[in-house]
Amino acid sequence: MSTLFEQLSSKLANVDKSIVFPEGTDERILTAASQLGASGTLTPILLGDKNEINRQAEQIGVDIHSCKLMNPAEFAEFDLMVETFIERRKGKVSDEEARIILTDENYFGTMLVYMNQADGLVSGAVHSTADTVRPALQIIKTKEGIKKTSGVFVIVRNDEKYIFGDCAINISPDSQDLAEIAMESANTAALFDIDPRVAMLSFSTKGSATSPETEKVTEALEIARSKNPDLLIDGEYQFDAAFVPDVAQQKAPGSVLQGDATVFIFPSLEAGNIGYKIAQRLGEFGAVGPILQGLNKPVNDLSRGCTADDVYKLAIITAVQAG
């Protein structure tokens, strides 16, 4: 795991990236921000009352001198932010409503990213996933041609690295959604220097069973191929046929993937969430994420049970996503 993040950190050398943390008084955030700032990897922006942030940092014994502190209530460009937010929301909120909404740290932080005053955002140590993702969808929005954001995990054990998706956002993706998830997951894999070899997973391999569920996966495969002919992708696969060469030879002998898939696309959130946790708990893989993909700028969500190390790693990932 450390090797992976050493590689990612090296990508940030001599690159001035700033990541905003809306939960600026949380102990885990402060600890990670202190380490990030001291290492020179990136500049953390901590939101909240500056006196409270400094008091909390002193109490837990961390040095945040390399961090930038920002109190939304004292932001000199707040009027401009309000105006920009109203424009971005296409008049769906009034000036009065915008001023109230932007007192929320997640909305304020997301607007900093949108206004190019930060390169990305990491939240969720205290807030729910919805609290983090909703502002991103309303303000940052998805890339052109992408209808929905999705959440993937990097699954790591020693030198092994894989991408599992969607494990965090879309409960019941349709064929179009799965195709988008597959293509975006391949892009995410490349960020981690993983050669994207994409397997579309199901309970069937190459028509061994037929149902609306398997047909959804095969249709997604065709959509992805038509949109990105250069993408190395195949399916539908049971996991063993995508991962074990001997099984692949038996179940899918003519496939371009022969048990060497690196990106695994699950047919539902239920399957993806269960799958990554099994890998984590039984396979003793590290699971880094969820990493949100498909957005115009990086916003990532922590688990409320996260550690300072989780915050540190997700911040590095977010900075790498910012390019």
Tokens 């909120």 locate to 93
On whether the CB atoms of residues 46 and 64 are closer than 8 A, the answer is: yes
pLDDT at site 114: 97
Q: What residues contact residue 177 under an 8 Å CB cut-off, 6+ apart?
A: 147, 148, 150, 170, 220
The 3-state DSSP class for residue 318 equals helix
On whether the CB atoms of residues 199 and 237 are closer than 8 A, the answer is: yes
Radius of gyration of the chain (CA): 21
On whether the CB atoms of residues 52 and 26 are closer than 8 A, the answer is: no
Domains of the chain and CATH, by start: 2-141+295-321 (3.40.50.10950), 150-286 (3.40.50.10750)
Question: How far apart, in whole angstroms, are the C-alpha atoms of residue 177 and residue 156?
Answer: 25
Q: How many CB atoms are located within 10 Å of the residue 25 CB? A: 18
Helices (H), the chain: 2-11, 27-39, 50-60, 78-88, 95-101, 105-114, 129-135, 175-191, 212-227, 239-243, 245-251, 269-281, 308-321
Tokens 């990086």 locate to 298
Provide block-wise average pLDDT over 10 residues at a time, the chain (323 residues).
72 84 96 93 95 96 95 95 96 94 96 97 91 94 91 91 94 96 95 94 93 96 96 95 95 93 97 95 89 94 87 92 87
pLDDT at site 13: 72
Q: Alpha-carbon dihedral of residues 92, 98, 103, 109, nearest 10 degrees?
A: 60
Could you tell me whether strands 43-47 and 263-265 are parallel, antiparallel, or unpaired per DSSP bridges? unpaired
pLDDT at site 284: 92
Tokens 């001291």 locate to 38
pLDDT at site 290: 85
Q: What residues contact residue 90 under an 8 Å CB cut-off, 6+ apart?
A: none
What are 189's two structure tokens? 């894999």
What are 253's two structure tokens? 């002998």
What are 101's two structure tokens? 């909404």
pLDDT at site 170: 93
Q: What residues contact residue 36 under an 8 Å CB cut-off, 6+ apart?
A: 19, 42, 44, 312, 315, 316
On whether the CB atoms of residues 63 and 80 are closer than 8 A, the answer is: no
233: which strand partners? 198
Can you give the pTM of this predicted structure? 0.86
Give the Cα-Cα-Cα angle 99, 104, 109 (nearest 5 degrees): 100
Half-sphere exposure of 313 (CA within 13 A, CB side): 24
- Distances in Å between the Cα of 248 and the Cα atoms of 160, 204, 226 are 19, 13, 24
